[in-house]
Structure 1
Amino acid sequence: MREIVFDTETTGLDPRDDRVIELGCVELVNRFPTGRTLHFFINPQGRSVHPDAQAVHGISDADLADKPVFGEILKAFLDFIDGAKLVAHNANFDIGFINAELEGLDQPGIEPGRVVDTLAIARRKHPMGPNSLDALCRRYGIDNSHRTKHGALLDAELLAEVYIELAGGRQADFGLEIVAQGENGASQTDRIPIDLPPRPRPLPSRLSTAEREAHAALVDAIGEKALWHKFYGEILAEEQEIA
């Protein structure tokens, strides 16, 4: 299963008037980072960065003057996300801006059912919150000390780690609930089971007879008063009863 965790930075908060100025993407396969990323700073084509937005991400108009416009990075972006689910925190915001950019280039928008919202997952899993990206990093012990400003690629990398933890960590998942946006904007839940075949018979003991005898001799040499001698004797008695 291929997923792209992504984040955007923008000139402001309104996708009808503001533009995407930074885009960061991180590839996951079966919820493990592959090391592949995509990152662009983007010229907003005459739209100035709002001072409030600049205070959050630190990107100025001068920083973007020589950067490509969205149309110039479009193919690379579409190729990178092709066939993958898209994962974002407060996904309505980021998808709203991406779809506005796509619409301006006469491209079809990203379907809501293709999007996974980690904020919705976090709110279901931790209803008492807080569930900001920084709060989730603290909850899961993810180092975000280098996040002094918002940045699309940095935030996507942190979110990828958070998403893995929300999904149960790096352990096999046996029925993860994924919250995606429905067609009407409401959240919908999909269960994605991992189908593992049953083990036909128990695994044999990895200890040989010689190893068991050597360990018993070591315990005997330590002496009868050793605490583990008592427990080892109980284990041997149980094995003999089972046999």
Structure 2
Amino acid sequence: MKEKYVVFDFETTGFSAQKNEIIQIGAVKYDENDVEIARFNQLVKNQRSYVSSEITKLTGIRPADLLNQPTIEEILPKFLAFIKDHLLVAHNAPFDVSFLYQAIIDCALSGVEAFRVYDTLTESKRLLTMSSYALENFKSVLGMEELRSHDALNDCLITAKLYQYLQKIEYSEELAFAKEADQLDLFGEMTDEITVELRRELHLPITKALVYYHQDEQRRWHRLEVVGIHIERTYSTGASLTIRLYDGEKVAIHSDFLKEMQKANFVNQMEED
């Protein structure tokens, strides 16, 4: 069934969500019929990292462009309100989602809803044959050569068109499959049991208890035991998870970030960064 969705993209100062930061947020909201209904486009002032000449060459964003822009603490609540209750769509989603989670932690925000994410990179590799799956290589296929790549809003428009294209292919495949089966069960029984097999699949410690850290409003770290894990979607790099904590709370998190939290020096590293 088709649903409302938001295509989003971040431009950042580098590749590490812990050491680098978001400098541009782009997002476009669509209804169930793929009709655009709203846009979100905002530069973000950098606070803990530099905009290198390489990043400026790639994105067109100069350090001077960010001096008078709002900080992530000012922008993030507005962005979270914009995407609330929508499926999120991104190309190479684990990258953008890791920066989103890190920003939520840095801003000490609580009560954020679990995200549902569709990765057009993973799905295009599954459904299409291309020499390269970089987003800019889809522009000619989608008739969008005029848009400059590595601009957050432009990349959203390209990703949206790619998502709509992939959905048409996937719908056609589902129809063909449904004709061959009386009942379609793609996912099987839902479970959040933490098995040895699941730990191995997510590269988590096999024997010790799994933990989740979060900061309160005073930026003090709290450690909670993870008692359940459900894989929402797998990617070429990791997976989107919903974890159940000892107190019953459920949290959305990327598997790579959960893996990082199992390290003995996680809190110290976060405070240093």
TM-score of the pair, normalised by structure 2: 0.60
Query: Which of the pair has more CA radius of gyration?
Result: 1
Q: CA deviation at 1:31?
A: 4.9
Equivalents in 1 of 2:139, 2:104: separation in Å? 31
Question: Corresponding residue for 2:158?
Answer: 158
Paired residue type of 1:63 = D
CA contact (8 A) 2:147 2:154 kept: no
Equivalents in 2 of 1:50, 1:146: separation in Å? 23
Cα distance 1:80–1:187, how it changes in 2: closer, same or farther (>3 A)? closer
Paired residue type of 2:6 = I
CA contact (8 A) 2:117 2:240 kept: no
Aligned pairs (5 A) from 1:32-71:
32-71=34-73
Question: Corresponding residue for 2:167?
Answer: 167
Q: Does 1:181 align with 2:233?
A: yes
* Other structure's SS at 1:7 match: strand
CA contact (8 A) 1:11 1:47 kept: yes
How big is each residue's C-alpha offset from its partner over 1:64-115, in whole Å with a ceiling of 9 and x where there is no partner? 0000001111221111111011100000111111111111011257746x11
Alignment identity in percent? 30
Task: Specify every segment of 5 or more residues in structure 2 that has no aligned partner in the other structure, as ranges.
Answer: 176-185, 187-231, 242-273
CA contact (8 A) 2:21 2:48 kept: no
* Other structure's SS at 2:55 match: helix
Cα distance 1:181–1:53, how it changes in 2: closer, same or farther (>3 A)? farther
TM-score of the pair, normalised by structure 1: 0.67
Task: Specify every segment of 5 or more residues in structure 1 that has no aligned partner in the other structure, as ranges.
Answer: 189-243
Equivalents in 2 of 1:63, 1:40: separation in Å? 11
How big is each residue's C-alpha offset from its partner over 1:4-52, in whole Å with a ceiling of 9 and x where there is no partner? 0000000111111101000000111125132311111000124211222
* Other structure's SS at 1:150 match: coil
CA contact (8 A) 1:4 1:81 kept: yes
Paired residue type of 1:122 = S
Greater fraction helix:
1
Question: Corresponding residue for 1:100?
Answer: 102
Question: Corresponding residue for 2:79?
Answer: 77
Paired residue type of 1:79 = A
Equivalents in 1 of 2:94, 2:15: separation in Å? 12
Cα distance 1:96–1:27, how it changes in 2: closer, same or farther (>3 A)? same
* Other structure's SS at 2:35 match: strand
CA contact (8 A) 1:24 1:40 kept: yes
Question: Corresponding residue for 1:122?
Answer: 124
